Structure 1
């Protein structure tokens, strides 16, 4: 449901611009540029016309009972009928019409019904200032009418009080209707805004989830695929290698490919709907599994030195340990790509309340290194991961041509 389905509830209609709102021109233009009446408009106008006519006939009957002259009664009939007919074009000139009917009702009580309907319409469709002006004129008209056409059954004071009550009733009722419509507009706009914000929040959550999955996929697969690339390259450039070395390299390629497929299945499982994933998901890496990562690197032929100064790695929070693992993994991967043969040192230290510090260093590679393409997205992803965990990460080349990665992660006491 949109606001265009209810043009009379648009803010422009509530602002009281001419020709808008219920009884305004918030409809498709008809011939000559005038607004086309809807079925609802015809029903409302017909009911108001009949109501005004009924009130006019009641006033006319009172005038007849007072034995006033036939000419005056005829004049009342004509002016009352004209006032009721004037209600049909009231949508175009509501303020002008009510001011004219205020004057006519002073001399013709039969126009009082049409006058009250027009007063109600102005209170519904116009802001406070025009309504206050029209209300002042209506109060003056209510005071003058009993003086010009007195009603002996009520007297002057009774007629004035009755007229003021009717004026206040019509104005108050119209303003109440206007306020309720404004409230509906505000509530609908708030609902639409809330719905749009919910959509934006959902899109942002999806974007963050995609970024997290992409970062995790890079961190996991880069390590495995680098092992594949290095050993496949060794087999390509050393076809005369001893069979034992070829078998070992082939075994590393096979194991790395298998592990890469397992990691890829696990990451893709995150994208599945609840209940579609494998219940036997592998556990996430932590600081306690850092030894296994180093052992894999050594088995692949890398020279890795691990200095883990944390006495109880299992006591480190799982999220912090996982981040430490990913930092060390990315450091080993980059060293294997850009400094093959160089010894990599991984230092982990810290404690509760002090935080966890991770250092990954490798010197300049011995000899010439073939160019290996790299986008730097891994280090960018690690920096984002450390920042999200509440820590920091710095990296860069050292003076001797090596590379240094240092990260600090919080560990609450």
Structure 2
């Protein structure tokens, strides 16, 4: 899932095209370059104006040095052609920089275009290409000083100033390139961090829905076990009085209706979208008609036992907690689920056996829950089970900081014992 989400993430080049240099864009089909933006046009105009300005300064110096008219005309034509060639700097920056370095060696008017081309290479190409173009531009400066000497600066002065200009443009271009790469890297990290945050939120929502579904599974198993007990009683006592038959069928109808509602809630949780819009009626599943339905706590334990007694079970409660309302809600709810699952298993595997429930503890000692039952009576109705309920309860008790033990008792019955911390 994470790989699929990574493919759907917006890439920095696509999300922020103004950060992507036009020279590194792929050419469009049909031979045209990448579509130029308003920013590209502005940069091109500034570069052309800079190259023309440097070329005009070189032409003025040539006139002051009494250069022949034909040489001055050729120099100006070469400078104009070099400025026009800057239109190709986004598609072939390295090749253009090499060519303009050679031209600027004999034509000072092309020096401005050569500097712009070297700057473009430094912005858009790796260091190897920058080293080649910059090296040729550096070599062209002393050659130009020999071919077209400047009487005011001399050979060393003209060469030093030309090399300094080349190094300045290349350094500036490399700075712009590193800054763009840094901004792109930060943007990419921000996009990935946002996608990972969405993944973590989705995973948390999924885990919450699964937890709710497991809890509803316990409730549903309890309801269905009641149905099986009452249906088994009707099957084995067809001669029961009409009043008892009516009472049993009423309990079956009510339990079946409640089981259908619980099943609908479980399915709603599993089908709910990530935002929780489909979790109506599910405890703890967000907004909805039943989202704020109170969860059972230790104070509701007596009602649970009364419900089991109405189903024909013999249940004995030894409540040693002075005030169940003082037990923290999370601890009491876990204890309630332990007793509920133990009663469900007793109805399944030991029908007719008396179940003993002992609940005791204090804030200093923690809360202890003990559910025991002897071996089931012969001839009862046994319901198959998967054992997933006790596994889920063990995990739930462990997550709450407690422990749960279950297994055969020495007298041949079954025992479930849990201990939970009592937060103050």
Q: Shorter-chain TM-score category? A: 0.7 to 0.9
**What is the CA distance between 1:136 and its match in structure 2?**
4.7
1:211-222 map, 5 Å: 211-222=210-221
Partner of 1:16: none
**Which residue of the other structure, out of 36, 45, 50, is the alignment partner of 1:39?**
36
Paired position in structure 2 for 1:71: 70
Higher mean C-alpha deviation, range 41-50 or range 113-122: 41-50
Q: Indicate how the Cα distance of structure 1 residues 322 and 237 shifts in structure 2: closer, same or farther if over 3 A, else same.
A: same
Answer whether contact 2:350 2:382 (CA < 8 A) is retained. no
Q: Corresponding residue for 1:104?
A: 103
d(CA) in 2 for partners of 1:131 and 1:353?
74
Shift of 1:146: 3.6
| Partner residue in 2 for 1:5 | 14
1:239 and 2:248 matched = no
Where do residues 334-373 of structure 1 align in structure 2 (5 Å cutoff)? 334-373=345-384
The range that moved more, 37-46 or 297-306, is 37-46
TM-score under structure 2 length normalisation? 0.80
After TM superposition, the structure 1 stretch with the greater mean CA deviation from structure 2, 138-147 or 66-75, is 138-147
TM-score (norm 1): 0.82
Cα distance in 1, alignment partners of residues 139 and 412 from structure 2: 96
Q: Secondary structure of 1:347's partner?
A: strand
Question: What residue in structure 2 maps to residue 26 of structure 1?
Answer: 26
Q: 1:102–1:202: structure 2 CA closer, same or farther, 3 Å change rule? A: same
Question: Which stretch of structure 1 is more off in the superposition, 383-392 or 42-51?
Answer: 42-51
Aligned length: 400
Secondary structure of the residue aligned to 1:87 is helix
Measure the CA separation in 1 of the matches of 2:415 and 2:332.
20
Shift of 1:201: 1.6
Distance 1:127 1:9, change over 3 A: farther
Q: Unpaired segments of 5 or more residues in structure 2? A: 1-9, 267-279
Structure 1 contact 395–406 (Cα < 8 Å) conserved: yes
Within 5 Å, which residues of 2 pair with 1:76-91? 76-91=75-90
**CA deviation map 1:299-347 (0-9, x unaligned):** 3211112233333333321101110001101110111122110111222
Change (3 A) 1:178 1:259: same
- CA–CA distance in 2 between the matches of 1:276 and 1:80? 76
Is 1:377 matched with 2:388? yes
Distance 1:133 1:389 in 2: 67
SS in 1 for 2:281: helix
Residues 1:364 and 1:274: Cα distance change in structure 2 (over 3 Å): closer
Instruction: Work out the CA distance in 1 between the residues paired with 2:284 and 2:418.
Output: 33
SS at match of 1:333: helix
Could you say what secondary structure the match of 1:217 adopts?
helix
- Provide structure 1 residue ranges, at least 5 long, that are not aligned to the other structure: 14-20
Could you say which residue in structure 2 is the equivalent of 1:269?
281
**Partner residue in 2 for 1:249:** 248
Is contact 2:374–2:412 with CA below 8 Å preserved after alignment?
A: yes
For the Cα contact (< 8 Å) 1:60–1:109, is it kept in 2? Answer: yes
SS in 2 for 1:345: strand
Aligned counterparts of 1:6 and 1:302: Cα–Cα separation in 2: 66
Partner of 1:390: 401
Q: Is the 8 A contact 1:9 1:181 kept in 2?
A: no
Contact persistence 1:8–1:24 (CA under 8 A): no
Give the secondary-structure state (helix, strand or coil) at the position aligned to 1:301: coil
